[in-house]
Amino acid sequence: MTPLSHLSSSDKLVELQKQLAGTHLRDLFDADKQRFDKYTMEAAGLFLDYSKNLINDDVLASLTKMAEEAKLPEAIKAMFSGEKINNTEGRAVLHTALRYFGKDPVMVDGKDVMPMIRDTHKRMKEITQQVHKGEWKGHTGKPVKHIVNIGIGGSYLGLKTAINALTPYHVKGLEHHYVANIDPNEISEVLRKIDPETTLFIVASKSFGTLETLQNAQAARKFMLDQGCAEADIRKHFVAISTNLKAIDEFGIAQENTLPLWDWVGGRYSLWSTIGLMISLVVGFDNFERLLKGAGDMDNHFKTAPLDQNMPVLMGMLGIWYQNYFGAESHAVISYDYFLRDFPGHLQQMDMESNGKRTTLDGKTVDYQTGAVIWGGTGTNDQHAYHQLLHQGTRLIPVDFVAPATSHNPLGEQHPWLFANAVAQSQAMMQGKTMEEIRDEMLAAGVAAEDVERLTPHKVIPGNRPNNMIVPEKITPEVAGALIALYEQKVFVQGVLWQVNSFDQWGVELGKVLGNRVYDRITEKGATSDQDSSTNGLVNRFKQFNV
Ligand SMILES: O=P(O)(O)OC[C@H]1O[C@](O)(CO)[C@@H](O)[C@@H]1O
């Protein structure tokens, strides 16, 4: 347990944790028949049942008090008003402006950024329509049939999540592909599937300095040239998105095929920006706009709802309750919707790159746990994989289940079965199965007494495992937008409580620098001997097979 000792209201939570540690969720449900009515809420098309958490009114009041003491309302205001809350990079954090459809200006350095955002929306719409109407033609005059997004991290995960979430909205006749990793297998597979005459590459990189993206973009360019596209026609096959317009120019992508991005949009929050061009191309601009509006609705809720009725605040504070007061290490998000299968991957970057920090905003080392290990997948597959550990393992792993009430493809009984499984998992985690229940069940089934004694301990399921259920009516563009924004704001809430800068990512730099050095050693002649013995050995092992 690592309580947030910098906040005096934390003491009360330590006390409440001790009180609740001996109480089972079953008892909480037995004691209060209204528990579901009390601990559910709705916002921006999302229904949240948080009744199966180890909480009572005192815990919620104390968590709210702690959020107030941490000045969460002030922090929310500071973010939305464009204050430079990313203090290590001196930047505002305004991905929220990208999904704002109100009339008020949004100021950065004394300038309203909304006209600029509207201009890029217009340009994204134009490009989308040109492609959809067959007006964007390749070097042999054929319309675009394949689009390939070349980008990694925030220039890949969020847009892919949204695109797959919106599968029922995909326009017909356009194949979409993704290249992120520097692994040559990945791009080779994509290049094998596409037709160079009808392919449009979208090079998405906030910095336009990311090794993987630049290497893959060069490989795509070479492929096009090798396939007979003249140098002068390359522009017909490439669009680039970046804050670094100079680097795009140096790469050789025509200025008219360039979309801007701004440093006040963090990479992992950039799917709402021009980086979302791929989304617009795959689902149409109108659906992209609906996605933005759904996220905007969640922002509006986050900005205006009182802390104790605020969905991102509640979910953020519940996370802190388990990570810092119950010693949980990880948090799972399991979607009962195949179309949300990429969501955990996006959440991993969104959450762990944001809050995987150990230094407070004013430079001190924290003495409590910060960012949880985020993981998850899709039901029901996961039930046949790792749910065993959720139910009977020794660790406390809070879970969020996301289960839409209706499906785009209900297929008779299958969707009701899917939803039933989601609810059953949530219930099983909460109630578990006692020794008495197991014994009675086996005896009633005529199992021999000695087997009953032998098997009972193996069959006991402790339950008391906290979980949330998020139940939208259906995964529409608005709902997908609201869902992603919900988690973004939850991450923000936790960052404020943990006093970290959720918007920088210095930790990834060392690996990049060392990667350059190791690459130099790998490509130098002769044996390498100037690094530590393991690095030397591994480099030399590589050289053994790559002379
Ligand atoms: O969009 P870019 O600049 O290519 O960066 C890709 C990703 O790399 C990171 O900087 C981390 O390495 C992420 O924050 C970012 O989303």
Answer whether 505 contacts ligand 1 (Cβ < 6 A). yes
CA distance 350 to 367: 23
Identify the bridge partners of residue 335 per DSSP, sorted by sequence position: 378, 402
In 3-state terms the chain splits into helix, strand, coil percentages (rounded to 5) of 55, 10, 35
- DSSP-based three-state secondary structure for 391: helix
Residue nearest to atom 12 of ligand 1 (CA): 508
Confirm whether 303 is a catalytic residue: no
Confirm whether 353 is a catalytic residue: yes
* Statement: the pTM of the whole predicted model exceeds 0.95: yes
Q: Which of 384, 450, 509, 525 is catalytic?
A: 384
Q: Measured in angstroms, how far is the CA atom of residue 352 from the centroid of ligand 1?
A: 13
CA distance 437 to 271: 49
Q: Measured in angstroms, how far is the CA atom of residue 266 from the centroid of ligand 1?
A: 9
Answer whether 17 contacts ligand 1 (Cβ < 6 A). no
Would you list the DSSP string of 186-219? HHHHHHHHS-GGGEEEEEE-SSS--HHHHHHHHH
CA distance 492 to 490: 5
| Rg, C-alpha atoms of the chain | 26
Using CA atoms, how far residue 436 sits from 440, 449, 461, 466, 540, in Å, is: 6, 14, 11, 22, 61
Note down pLDDT in tens along the chain; length 547 residues.
899 999 999 999 999 999 999 999 999 999 999 999 999 999 999 999 999 999 999 999 999 999 999 999 999 999 999 999 999 999 999 999 999 999 999 999 999 999 999 999 999 999 999 999 999 999 999 999 999 999 999 999 999 999 999 999 999 999 999 999 999 999 999 999 999 999 999 999 999 999 999 999 999 999 999 999 999 999 999 999 999 999 999 988 989 999 999 999 999 999 999 999 999 999 999 999 999 999 999 999 999 999 999 999 999 999 999 999 999 999 999 999 999 999 999 999 999 999 999 999 999 999 999 999 999 999 999 999 999 999 999 999 999 999 999 999 999 999 999 999 999 999 999 999 999 999 999 999 999 999 999 999 999 999 999 999 999 999 999 999 999 999 999 999 999 999 999 999 999 999 999 999 999 999 999 999 999 999 999 999 999 999 7
- Asked if ipTM goes beyond 0.95, one says yes
The helix-helix angle for 477-498 and 57-69 (nearest 10°) equals 70
Question: Residue 103's Cα: distance from chain center in Å?
Answer: 29
Answer whether 154 contacts ligand 1 (Cβ < 6 A). yes
Answer whether 270 contacts ligand 1 (Cβ < 6 A). no
Question: Residue 364's Cα: distance from chain center in Å?
Answer: 27
3-state secondary structure 47-87: EEECCCCCCCHHHHHHHHHHHHHCCHHHHHHHHHCCCCCEC
**Residue type for 503, please?**
F
Confirm whether 490 is a catalytic residue: no
Q: Measured in angstroms, how far is the CA atom of residue 377 from the centroid of ligand 1?
A: 23
Cis peptide before 380 (omega within 30 of 0): yes
Picking from 41, 45, 42, the residue whose alpha carbon sits closest to that of residue 291 is 45
Q: Measured in angstroms, how far is the CA atom of residue 301 from the centroid of ligand 1?
A: 29
Answer whether 152 contacts ligand 1 (Cβ < 6 A). yes
Closest approach atom of ligand 1 to CA 212: 4
Q: Measured in angstroms, how far is the CA atom of residue 420 from the centroid of ligand 1?
A: 39
Q: How many residues make up the chain in this entry?
A: 547
